[in-house]
Amino acid sequence: MAARLSMMKKILVDIHIYLSLLCAGYMIIYGVSGIAFNHQLQPTDAPGATWETSIDVPVFDTDQASAEAARDRLQLVGWVPNWRLSHPQPDQLLFFVNRPSREYRVLLHQVTGSVQVQETRRGLLGAVLGLHGLGRMPNSAWSRSWSIYTQISTWALIFSVLSGIWFWWLRPGWRRSGWWMLGLGSGGCVLFMLYIIG
């Protein structure tokens, strides 16, 4: 029995270590972006490329659908925020395409199909902030991979926490101090959430 418990502990320790190494990059990005959000740090924007082209003018019932169709025809990656749609002139549609590291300002002339695109680069911090909670991103071939990595890292973190609690429980001499830490951490978190939503 003791041999089996020792073998199980060794296997779980190995899984604990390698899963933690697997999701280390994700947790660093999540932690850095969380600190940046908490301290309201903003990326420094820098002008990027500017270009003009022409497309077949998409005709839809809503500006949102027209902007997204124009984005697809321009092969731009990112979301079109509906609150930033506007008409500087009656025959113009102005919209923005956002992705973690860049933003595109797109001015579409709806009569001629002429398009002016202005790129703004958001740097490394902008990319890190954009990866915080990133899901599927339109026209991106790789955003699905990030979603999968997020799922793996989340489950790895849950496993690491539960296995860490089990390893702590196997050390009777650490239980009293561990209860204090568990109570302060988990209990304090619950009380803080109740305070926030109360």
pLDDT at position 2: 66
pLDDT at position 93: 95
User: Beta partners for 52?
Assistant: 116
pLDDT at position 1: 65
Residues of the chain with pLDDT under 50: none
pLDDT at position 82: 93
DSSP secondary structure string, the chain? -HHHHHHHHHHHHHHHHHHHHHTHHHHHHHHHHHHHHHTT--PPPEEEEEEEEE-PPP--SSHHHHHHHHHHHHT--SB--GGG-B-SSTTEEEEEEEETTEEEEEEEETTT-EEEEEEEE-HHHHHHHHHTT----TT-SSHHHHHHHHHHHHHHHHHHHHHHHHHHHT-GGGHHHHHHHHIIIIIHHHHHHHHHH-
pLDDT at position 160: 84
